[in-house]
Amino acid sequence: MNAVYILWLRQFKRYIRSPARLVASLAQPMMFLIALGFGLGSIFARAGQGSYIQFLVPGIVAMSIIFSSIFSGMEMLWDRQFGFLKETLVAPVPRFAIMLGRVAGGATTAMIQGAIVLVISLAFGFRPNNWLVVPEALAVMLLISLLFSAFGMVVGSKMTDMQAFPLIMNFIVMPLFFLSGAMFPLRGLPKAMLVVATADPLSYGVDALRQLLIGTSHFGLPLDIAVLSGLTLALLFLGSYFFSRMEV
Amino acid sequence: MSAIIDVRNLTKTFGAFAAVKDVSFEVEAGGIFAFLGPNGAGKSTTIKMLTTVLRPTSGTIRIDGFDPVTQSHQVRRSFGIVFQDPSLDDMLTARENMDFHGVLYDISRAARRERIEQLLNFVELWDRRNSLVRDFSGGMKRRLEIARGLMHHPKIIFLDEPTLGLDPQTRNHMWQYLQELNAKNGTTVFFTTHYMEEAERIARRIAVIDRGTIIASGSADELKTQTKTESLEDAFLTLTGHSIREEEGTNLDRMRRIRGMMR
Ligand SMILES: Nc1ncnc2c1ncn2[C@@H]1O[C@H](COP(=O)(O)OP(=O)(O)OP(=O)(O)O)[C@@H](O)[C@H]1O
Ligand SMILES: [Mg+2]
């Protein structure tokens, strides 16, 4: 358990020691809020869907979480390149503890990013339906962070060099984000598109956040939570298996 | 004589290239063992297999009676290692790197505090304990890695070219510390080096590996007698026969050696 804690602490320290990373990672969500929130807002309202900012913010929060989570998985490549990975791999610590510690570290930073975006979105006019559910929304954000940090570690543990990073971004992370319903309602989608969105785990994260923050949901909160936690657990085990197979 | 490290017919291939070929050797518990060989001979590759971070292609390894492939956890509990390549987190301070290690190796808080102070003083980094490793010189990083490697007291300690880039003071200091550890706790020491006088002075047994194969082993004196030479350095050169090999080496061999030198 101490090992999990120290692995978490290490990642947290690295995060707070690189403020540039924090600032840079906020730029993208801001851009989406401005361009989409203001740019598409009037069309969305004219289509009778209500306020687009209200609808969009949970999606953008989820976006900043997934990007930040994946990034922490990619830090594994960094650790491999700079050699620190060896130090963890030879330690007499169960691989599940290593996975847990790293995922907890990645998820913590991702969740902080998400929370910052949520706060910033208030300046764009976003208001949760009910302030009392904000803690629950934060819990869901943590769950999404855990899921995608675990996913990031699984991917990171399989990669051996930085070259694959753009591939991961363009062929996994971007599709996960764009097809998740983060930016559009799932209701009334073409059939094929709906199937894809239903298979995208991020859809359930966005959906859960919408349920809590603005009171609309496609799948329903229980299903959302079940999918998110089930997948997280599965990825934690898969990741520790990959860790046990890892070579330097 | 009980072997704490027992290696039988160990082979590791990378694609078509065999980095380690059918290597067998033993290291007795409490011994000080030097693993010598030219660049690219397969020393680090062997150490990686002994320390669970590389899977052998074939052959068997026993570390304190355990198999690194199937009983990796038990094996990891029995050794400490100083890698040849860097292995610090440069966004952490010297002390944080030490503490991280101490926690992973389950050292109590009190013992951690005490040993960190003692060892950082030992490598003369105590004054810099709160500096980020990023700001350290190459030699300072190396000293920190040595200090970290000595923090827990395993049955076996592997050191892959530990003295590379260290000043003579720190080098002597380190060997003295290791010899004490060996005498007091019976810690087995397994190291590689390119400084032959170091191997001659410290090691009680030596194995020479060249192009993935062990070509000689014994005490420094035995190797000198065997090659009819006066120093271990001459014995080493006779055994690995550089000038001769240059002529008969294939292109692939040459390329491999250049690569080995660059890593
Ligand atoms: N991951 C790898 N993929 C391909 N070849 C490798 C790999 N690791 C090592 N080798 C090759 O195996 C050979 C042995 O390398 P190794 O690092 O074990 O040498 P060494 O004896 O430690 O040399 P040095 O004294 O330079 O540290 C070299 O030719 C090297 O290029
Ligand atoms: Mg080496």
Distance CA B207, CA A248 (A): 24
Q: How far is the CA of B40 from the centre of ligand 2 (A)?
A: 7
Nearest CA in chain A to B45: A248
Out of B51, B91, B103, name the one closest to residue A90 (CB): B51
What type of residue is B223?
L
Which chain A residue is nearest to residue B149, measuring alpha carbons?
A: A87
For testing the chain B interface, which of A90, A160, A242 should be mutated: the one with the most B CBs within 10 Å? A90
Q: Which of B55, B83, B103 sits opposite A3 (nearest CB)?
A: B103
**Among the listed residues A59, A65, A68, the one whose alpha carbon sits nearest the alpha carbon of residue A37:** A59
* Neighbouring C-beta atoms of residue B190, cutoff 10 Å: 24
What is the rounded distance in angstroms from the CA atom of residue B243 to the CA atom of residue B237? 9
Q: pTM for this one?
A: 0.90
B37 torsion bin: left (phi>0), alpha (psi -120 to 50), beta (else): left
In chain B, what residues touch A83 (CB-CB under 8 Å)? 83, 85-88
Please tell me the predicted confidence (pLDDT) of residue A16: 93
A153-187 pLDDT per residue, tens: 999 998 888 888 888 888 999 999 999 999 899 98
Q: Which atom of ligand 1 is the closest one to the Cα of B259?
A: 31
Portion of chain A with pLDDT greater than 70, in percent:
100
At residue B258, does pLDDT exceed 90?
no
Contact B185, B153 (CB under 8 A): yes
The number of folded domains in chain A is: 1
* Spatial contact of A245 and A158, defined as CB atoms under 8 Å apart: no
* Region of poorest pLDDT, from A25-29, A226-230, B2-6, B157-161: A25-29
Report whether pLDDT(B247) > 90: no
- A87-96, B167-176, B251-260: range with lowest mean pLDDT: B251-260
DSSP of B129-167: TTSBGGGS-HHHHHHHHHHHHTSS--SEEEEESTTTT--
- Burial class for B260, CB neighbours closer than 10 Å (0-12, 13-18, 19+): middle
pLDDT of residue A38: 84
- Identify the residue among A1, A84, A109 best suited for mutation to test binding to B, counting B beta carbons within 10 A and taking the highest: A84
| pLDDT value at B256 more than 80 | no
- In this structure, is residue B8 part of a structural domain? no
Mean of all residue pLDDT scores within chain A: 93
Query: What is the least distance, in Å, from the CA of A107 to any CA of chain B?
Result: 19
Question: Is B95 a domain residue?
Answer: yes
Average pLDDT over residues A46-74: 91
Nearest to B53 among A3, A14, A89 (CB): A89
Residues from A in contact with B at Cβ < 8 Å:
2-3, 5-6, 10, 13-14, 17-18, 79, 82-84, 86-94, 244, 246-248
> Contact A3/B101, CB-based, under 8 Å?
no
CB contact under 8 A, B90 and A82: yes
Domain ranges, residue A169: 2-245
Lowest pLDDT segment from A37-46, B52-61, B207-216: A37-46
Asked if the structure places residue B3 within a domain, the reply is no
CATH number at residue B201: 3.40.50.300
pLDDT digits (tens, 9 = 90+) for A220-243: 999 999 999 999 999 999 999 999
- Round to whole Å and give the CA distance between B168 and B170: 6
Q: Is residue B261 pLDDT above 50, yes or no? A: no
Which of ligand 1's atoms lies nearest the C-alpha of B12? 12
Q: Which among A10, A83, A247 has CB closest to B92?
A: A10
The radius of gyration of chain B from alpha carbons, rounded to an integer in Å, stands at 19
Residue B97 lies in a domain: yes
Give the tens place of pLDDT for each residue, B73-100. Answer: 999 999 999 999 999 999 999 999 999 9
Q: Does B69 map to a domain?
A: no
Cβ–Cβ below 8 Å for A90 and B48:
no
Q: How remote is the CA of residue B7 from the centroid of ligand 2, in Å?
A: 18
Q: Among B188, B174, B104, which residue's Cα sits nearest to residue B142?
A: B174
B26 inside domain: no
For the ranges A45-54, A78-87, B118-127, the lowest mean pLDDT is seen at A45-54
Query: Which pLDDT tens digit goes with each residue over A115-136?
Result: 999 999 999 999 999 999 999 9
**Is residue B231 domain-resident?**
yes
Q: What is the largest CA-CA distance in chain A?
A: 61
- Check pLDDT > 60 for residue B254: no
Task: Kindly provide the ipTM of the predicted complex, given to two decimals.
Answer: 0.90
Residue A37 has a pLDDT of 83
Can you give the pLDDT at residue B242? Answer: 62
Q: Cα separation of A149 and A109, whole Å?
A: 10
DSSP label of A184: S
pLDDT score, position B165: 87
Mutate to test the pocket of ligand 1, among B10, B14, B190, B208 (most ligand atoms within 8 A of CB): B14
Please answer whether residues B199 and B232 qualify as being in contact, where contact means their C-beta atoms are separated by less than 8 angstroms: yes
Q: How many residues does chain B have?
A: 263
Structural domain that includes position B227: 31-51+77-262
> Strand, helix or coil at A173?
helix
Question: What's the domain count of chain B?
Answer: 1
Q: Is some CB atom of chain A closer than 8 A to the CB atom of B84?
A: no
Closest residue CA from atom 7 of ligand 1: B14
Which chain B residues contact residue A82 at CB under 8 A? 86, 89-90
Report chain A residues whose CB lies below 8 A from the CB of B85. 83, 86
Q: A158 CA to middle of ligand 2, Å? A: 24
